[in-house]
Copies of this chain bind each other. A is one copy, B any other.
Amino acid sequence: MRVSAKADYAVRAAAELAAADEGPVKGEKLADAQDIPLQFLEHILLELKHQGIVRARRGAKGGYWLARPADEVTIAEIVRAVEGPIAHVQSTPPEAIEYRGNSEHLQEVWIAVRASIRNVLENVTLADLVADELPDVVTDLAAVPDSWVAR
């Protein structure tokens, strides 16, 4: 139940792309802006490219840009692109597991966990993120002081 550095980096780099006005942005600029190791970031951007989230051009004046408008790219997509499916249990999707005996209803719990994560990540777009116009589901949760305490 953790978020990898890769996923965090991927979203941060994508946010920079979403905020870029015109034309391709160099990998180095993204790395500098978000303090990410350049060569590691290049691998991440390559994955995002393979998943059709960003596009790239080489050479002078080359760089990366979003394949779609920033308000059509959700955080969930980016996380999936680099981390794979969200909230799998034992590397299989929760709806595919058979629980028996007294743990029969554990399946519904894992399903609910996945759904609640999706409720957040699928409703935040890169445009929301850079404009600081996060959806209510996020601001409501973040407004509760208890959400900020470690446990």
Contact flag A141-B111 (CB < 8 Å), given A16-B103, A150-B95:
yes
Name which of A7, A106, A121, A124 has the most chain B CB atoms within 10 A of its CB: A106
* Residues in B neighbouring A11, C-beta threshold 8 A: 103, 106
Q: CA–CA, A133 to B144, complex, Å?
A: 27
* Residues in B neighbouring A19, C-beta threshold 8 A: 101-102
**Chain A interfacial positions (CB closer than 8 Å to B):** 1-5, 7-8, 11-12, 15-16, 18-19, 33-35, 75, 79-80, 83, 85-91, 93, 95, 99-106, 108-121, 124, 129-130, 132, 134, 137-139, 141-142, 144, 146-151
A83, closest chain B residue (CB): B1
* Residues in B neighbouring A85, C-beta threshold 8 A: 150-151
Whether B120 lies near A15 (C-beta < 8 A) is no
Contact flag A109-B34 (CB < 8 Å), given A5-B90, A90-B5:
no
